[in-house]
Chains A and B, each alone.
Chain A
């Protein structure tokens, strides 16, 4: 039957698993307590594997360079960018963003960049951490 796989299965028993132990080695029994402990500095979490260059994470917006041309609003496929009339700047809603980076390509002053951050989960789609402005 599976004689062809047996050698490989045996050798797997002695190899170290690939899995990166992020955030901790075993699942915590109470997640909210664990998160609170991390916030207070009591528990250290293992970092995730570093992302490759060119990874499309959270948008970084350089407000000084923006000229208010509204081109990024025209190409965004998710309608995630809003124009602020008074300041002539934009506001990006990350809960609708699909991280396609098309706004980066179109911006004439190159004020938008894709960063490295990807741990963005939140229970409220319009919370402070998910609006970039």
Chain B
């Protein structure tokens, strides 16, 4: 700002595509007046890999593994939604035991993802100790996943018409041991996050998403439930075995009695969902029936059966970040005609604009990370000031965020 007259102009700060606050490349352009944000513009497309195009020469079994590698953290929800879409188009019936096993795997993934998010959110505020504490607990869940599926991250456990590995009676003591460990330590995490004065000062009143905005912009997942809109695919529709279980919508007023739609409410929302997931897994282990785990174990026969199908199908699943939507169209060849993938973060991008207006620069990391965008971290911020280019790298922006915490503590 180099004018000596009384008119005030605003800066334009580009943030991204590579940025420490977000876990994936996204390009923001902020218009800043002093320290307050006046307007936001979002640009995407940096990790576009042409996954839907790659599906045009692969048969449905191969697409399952392609779908798994769309995202690293939500690597179970994409094959799950794709399988739901194919089973809808081809009218395949899934055995009952497989439905319960699918619920267990999905909820395990949700616990792991929310614990990772809790650590990242604490890191953005400046509490690195809490990052290591929550990730230590997450290691127990990763060990359990490796024991059940063969690998920590890309599980490879979904198949069309069922599931690939069973949970036998001798695996159950290990599962209950891990869940008991989590239940004992849940109170500790809750106390650290929700009763701490500094966390409250940083997060209450920041990044507010009103109920009206969340409804009009079609937000999904914990972001919209924290603004008191009751949308949850597991409760609204009956898929897998969720129709039999005792499940209800979770909104922050269960714990505090009122809903503001700010970052603090989103922290409460995700911690309550961890508790709900533990409860759902225990319900499943109690009432799971015996039986087959896959409807058609002979894979060439399954592929031939899918070759004759003509129709369209839609699969929706509640991933840890929101609603995953897949649309599949089969036309009687061995590869699908169309496959449309919609990850939950696409619907959560537009809500960033009302959330970030009126905030300060040091709040950008925690507000953007509170919607849990599913993207990978990046590293440099360029500020254009009086025509000179300064470059702030990852450490600088993080330092700004930590300094604000120190200021508040005094």
| Chain A interface (Cβ < 8 Å from any Cβ of B) | 1-2, 4-5, 8-9, 18, 52, 54-56, 71, 74-78, 98-102, 105-106, 114
Question: Are A77 and B58 within 8 A (Cβ)?
Answer: yes
Chief secondary structure at chain A's binding surface: loop
Find chain B residues with CB under 8 A from A9 CB: 129
Find chain A residues with CB under 8 A from B195 CB: 4
Alpha-carbon gap, A98 to B75, bound state (A): 14
Find chain A residues with CB under 8 A from B165 CB: 54
A-B contact pairs, 8 of them (CB 8 A): A1-B198, A4-B191, A54-B147, A99-B151, A101-B156, A102-B61, A105-B299, A114-B150
Find chain A residues with CB under 8 A from B198 CB: 1
Find chain B residues with CB under 8 A from A99 CB: 151, 156
Find chain A residues with CB under 8 A from B62 CB: 75-77
> Known interface pairs A54-B165, A71-B300. Does A5 touch B192 (Cβ–Cβ under 8 Å)?
yes
Known: A1-B409, A74-B59. 19 other contacts (CB 8 A): A1-B196, A5-B130, A8-B133, A52-B146, A52-B147, A54-B149, A54-B165, A55-B151, A56-B150, A56-B151, A71-B299, A74-B303, A76-B62, A77-B62, A77-B65, A99-B151, A100-B65, A100-B154, A106-B300
Alpha-carbon gap, A8 to B188, bound state (A): 10
Give the interface size class of chain B: 20 to 34
| Chain B interface (Cβ < 8 Å from any Cβ of A) | 58-59, 61-66, 69, 127, 129-130, 133, 136, 146-147, 149-151, 154, 156, 164-165, 188, 191-192, 195-198, 299-300, 303, 409
A101 CB to nearest B CB, Å: 7
Find chain B residues with CB under 8 A from A18 CB: 136
Find chain B residues with CB under 8 A from A76 CB: 62
Closest A residue to B65 by beta carbon equals A77
Question: Are B133 and A106 within 8 A (Cβ)?
Answer: no
Find chain B residues with CB under 8 A from A56 CB: 150-151, 156
Closest A residue to B127 by beta carbon equals A2
Question: Are A1 and B197 within 8 A (Cβ)?
Answer: yes
Alpha-carbon gap, A54 to B149, bound state (A): 7
A47 CB to nearest B CB, Å: 17
> Known interface pairs A1-B197, A75-B62, A76-B62. Does A54 touch B133 (Cβ–Cβ under 8 Å)?
no
Question: Are A5 and B146 within 8 A (Cβ)?
Answer: no
Find chain B residues with CB under 8 A from A4 CB: 191-192, 195-196
Alpha-carbon gap, A55 to B147, bound state (A): 8
Find chain A residues with CB under 8 A from B151 CB: 55-56, 99
Closest A residue to B68 by beta carbon equals A100
B348 CB to nearest A CB, Å: 29
Alpha-carbon gap, A114 to B165, bound state (A): 14
A7 CB to nearest B CB, Å: 10
Closest 6 CB pairs of A and B: A77-B65, A77-B62, A56-B150, A52-B147, A100-B156, A106-B299
B100 CB to nearest A CB, Å: 20
Question: Are B65 and A102 within 8 A (Cβ)?
Answer: yes
> Known interface pairs A5-B129, A55-B150, A101-B156. Does A77 touch B66 (Cβ–Cβ under 8 Å)?
yes
Alpha-carbon gap, A58 to B198, bound state (A): 49
A115 CB to nearest B CB, Å: 12
Question: Are B65 and A98 within 8 A (Cβ)?
Answer: yes
Closest A residue to B147 by beta carbon equals A52
Alpha-carbon gap, A4 to B189, bound state (A): 10
A118 CB to nearest B CB, Å: 10
Closest A residue to B129 by beta carbon equals A5
Closest A residue to B146 by beta carbon equals A52
> Known interface pairs A4-B192, A5-B130, A102-B61. Does A75 touch B150 (Cβ–Cβ under 8 Å)?
no
Closest A residue to B149 by beta carbon equals A54
Alpha-carbon gap, A75 to B129, bound state (A): 45
B211 CB to nearest A CB, Å: 32
A54 CB to nearest B CB, Å: 5
Closest B residue to A6 by beta carbon equals B129
